[in-house]
Amino acid sequence: MNLKVTIILIITSCFILSCGKKANQPKQEKDLETIEPSLQFIWETDSLLTTCEAVLYDDASKIIYVANINEEPWEKDNNGFISTINDKGEILNLKWIEGLSGPKGMGISNGKLYVNDIDAIVEIDIQQQKILNRYEVPNNPQLNDITVSPNGVVYSSGSNSNTIYKLDSGNVVVLAEGDLNRLNGLLWQKEGLYYLESGNQNFGIMNMNDLTFKTLTTGIGHGDGVVRLQNGDFIISSWKGAIFYINSKDWTKTLLLNTEAESIQTADIDYIPSTQTLLIPTFFNNRVKAYKVNMSK
C-alpha cells in the first residue's frame, strides 16, 4: 500500500468517526434533559361548593362534576350533592343532584355517572339527571375513589376496608384486599390499577392478573387523587394540601404545590388533557381551583 492510499484511508476513518460522534450527540443531550414541571394558577370557583371532595371532567359535554359532602364526610345526613361547573370555573347548577350523604370519587361510563357515597356506589343517569340505582357495600367500607375501565367496569376503593370493589353488570364484588392503610385514590390503566394509601403515604400499582400490590413511591402524604399526563407521568394529591409530580421512569416525586399552611386541602383531583389543566377541589375551603400544568425542559 503506497503512502497516498494510506493517507486517504486515515482521513476517511476520521471523517466517519467524527460523523458518528455528531450523530450520537443530540441523543446524549436529549437523555440529559430533565423535565421541570410547575403549576400556574388560572381560576377558582365561588365558595358555594361546600366540602367539595372530588372533581370529574366530562370531555363529551365539557362539564366538570363536583362532589360536595356538605359537612361530615362519613355521616349519613342526606345533605350531600353534585354540582356542575364549566371550564372557566363558573357554577352552572349548584345542586344538579341531591339526596346523597358523603359523595366522593366519581366515574363516567355509557351515559352514567357513578359516585361513591359512604357504603354505596350510586348510579346516576346524566341525561335524565336522575339517580337510577344504589349498589350497597356491607361492613362499613367507607368508599372513597372510583375509576372506570374502557369496557365499563367500575372500580371502587374502600378506605376503611382497604379493599378494591368491582361493579360489573349490576353486581358489586370484592376484587382484591391488601395489607394497606387507608386505601384511597384509584386509576385504571392497561398495565394495572394505580392506587394511593393515605395511611402509609404510598403510591403503587395493583397487578390485575395476580391481584398483588406493589409500592412505587413513598412519602406522598395523605394520598387522595391521581391523574396521568400525556407523557405517561402522574400527578397525585395529598389531602392535607400538597400536589406531587411522579416521574414514571424512576418513580421520583417533585412537590408542585403546598397549601397546608393556608389550611387549603387538595382532595380528589382531575385533569383536562386538551388544556393541560389540573382541577383541585379544596374540601373545607369550599372551592375548586384550576392550575395550568407547565412542562419546561
Determine the distance from the C-alpha atom of residue 134 to the mean position of all C-alpha atoms in its chain, rounded to a whole number: 24
- CB contact burial 96-112 (16+ within 10 A = b; e otherwise): bbeebbbbbbbbbbeeb
pLDDT-above-70 percentage for the chain: 89
Rounded distance between C-alpha atoms, residue 170 and residue 163, angstroms: 19
Q: Which residue has the higher pLDDT, 168 or 121?
A: 121
The arithmetic mean of pLDDT across residues 12-32, rounded, is 43
Average pLDDT (246-259) is 98
Cell of 169: 353488570
Query: Are residues 103 and 117 in contact, defined by beta-carbon separation less than 8 angstroms?
Result: yes
- Kindly report which listed range (15-29, 104-118, 257-271) carries the lowest average pLDDT score: 15-29
Angstrom CA distances, 66 to 81, 199, 283, stand at 8, 25, 11
Residue 15, pLDDT > 70, answer: no
Which tens digits make up the pLDDT trace of 134-179?
999 999 999 999 999 999 999 999 999 999 999 988 999 999 999 9
- Give the pLDDT confidence of 80-107 residue by residue, as tens digits: 999 999 999 999 999 999 999 999 999 9
Three cell numbers written together for 87: 371550564
pLDDT average, residue stretch 9-38: 51
Q: Which residue has the higher pLDDT, 182 or 29?
A: 182
* Residue 275 neighbours by CB distance under 10 Å: 13
Contacts of 255 (CB under 8 A, 6+ apart): 242, 243, 244
